[in-house]
Amino acid sequence: MQNSLDQVVKDCAKAFHLPGLSVGVYQGGKSYFSATGGRQGGRVDKETVYPIGSASKAFIAAVVMQLGEEGLLALDEPLIRYLPNLALFDSKRTAEITIRDALCHRSGLPRHDITLFTNGRTSLVEMVYNMRFLEPQWPAGQRFCYQNHMFAALTLLVERITGQPWGVAVQGRILEPLGMLRTYTRSQEYEEKESNYARPMAPLGVLNLPVKNMNTDCVGGAGAVSSNAQDFLAWAIANLHGGRHAGGRLYGDQAAAELFQAQMPIREGEMSPYSLPEVTESNYGLGWFVDRYRGEKFVHHGGTVTGFKSLVGFLPDWDFAFCALHNRNASLAASALGYTLCDMALSAVPAKWCDRFLEIEKQLGQKVHETYRKTLSNSGGSIAIPPGCAGIYHNQAYGSVRIVEHRGKLRIHFAGRKVPLVPAGDKMAIDLGKIKQAFPCWFETDENNETNGFLVKLEPMLDSAIRFVRKKS
């Protein structure tokens, strides 16, 4: 296994131009590790720390199940019973959303993830408070839609019931029992305590450029955990074995059954922009994806933070688990590696996953460029600038944007960037040219023809635009 793993890791890192890659595999009662690439001050290895992004969610889900076993909560009770200050966009949804609904992404809210960039300096408490301003798209329970804010609310649930900061609860209930001593629950905490950690990188062709590290404390257990391959694999093994570990159990049989049971089906297009014939069924459990891969149950979760990717997974019927961590943004390398490792465990015919995912990356990149081009199809034209439109506009959930006018052109201070507002058809668009993304936008005027609002199509799953209200001078 070790020689095969080393070769797979080396090939994957080379194919995807990864600056650093650390991998752990468990099979047949043994653990194996492999790593390749460099970091500041040395080479990456099994102890190199990376943010794991949304793979954090499984930790919160496990603590919630523990609290259920202790009789402190019930999954099918409304979340508001335990978080009385929680409010969603409408009172009916607020009263009806259950803990289970939140755990399996069926709240009816679209992602609204841009709030993490435009309003990411808020605290966890403020982020959850602002959920009352997030417009839903579907009735609760109707369809799957991945939702970070709901896991932020679950993080507060853990804090309220345990009386501890969520990181302290996770540390005492999971990290310490499993010996995960180099796993951190506060975003970027590892930079204060470690020298062996990866730095975020973004692709520029085959090159990798440093990017600013993203602070994810505002979403708590939805995405703030950091770990290394050694610790991360210990977590995977414990879940593979139904919560069992050398010192006891994290949770019981009933909790294990619910965590890894299909709770919400995921239809094509609801999560991934591509489909794979080998994956014949896709669902979400409680903090985990639960798929059918080559006819076998495959439990897994990935994570993305700017400049980083992670993937952890296991095949319950094959006593096999793995984890992968790397630091190149917008890469599908972890997915390619995960399926390659599963094929090794299943002794399946190799499917050339690196080649396939590189082609998927290419196709997705072409779609991004085409969407960008269509949005700015009339960017060479001109559009009348409403008089006096410069100023600050605010949305309770998305934060504030500043629009300035200079020499007859508009620029917007948006998500930490200063970018142009350009003509786009009969409207305008926020032009994020470096990442080939543009958001249609327009101004709103009152009966006196004075600009009082700025509307932007920031959430692609939402029919309506996000409205920013003009702040009075």
User: What is the arithmetic mean of pLDDT over 74-79?
Assistant: 98
Per-residue confidence at 433, pLDDT binned at 50, 70, 90?
confident
pLDDT at residue number 60 = 98
Two tokens at 80?
């508001």
pLDDT in tens, 94-128: 999 999 999 999 999 999 999 988 766 789 999 99
pLDDT at 120: 61
CB 274 within 8 A of CB 357: no
pLDDT band of residue 414 (cuts 50, 70, 90) is: confident
Q: How do residues 219-246 score in pLDDT, each as one tens digit? A: 999 999 999 999 999 999 999 999 999 9
Query: How far apart are alpha carbons 50 and 328 in whole angstroms?
Result: 11
pLDDT in tens, 335-350: 999 999 999 999 999 8
pLDDT for the residue numbered 379: 63
List, for residues 163-221, the tens digit of each pLDDT value: 999 999 999 999 999 999 999 999 999 999 999 999 999 998 899 999 999 999 999 99
Average pLDDT over residues 416-441: 90
pLDDT band at 406 (very low <50, low <70, confident <90, very high): confident
Res. 466: pLDDT tops 70: yes
Tokens standing for 447?
Answer: 């009966």
pLDDT in tens, 19-73: 999 999 999 999 999 999 999 999 999 999 999 999 999 999 999 999 999 999 9
Percentage above 90 pLDDT, the chain: 90
What confidence tens digit (pLDDT) does each residue in 277-313 have? Answer: 999 999 999 999 999 999 999 999 999 999 999 999 9
pLDDT over 90 (residue 87): yes
CA 468 to chain centre: 25
pLDDT band with cut points at 50, 70 and 90 for residue 381? low
Rounded distance between C-alpha atoms, residue 201 and residue 179, angstroms:
29
pTM: 0.96
pLDDT class of 377 with cuts at 50, 70, 90: confident
- The pLDDT value recorded for residue 300 is 98
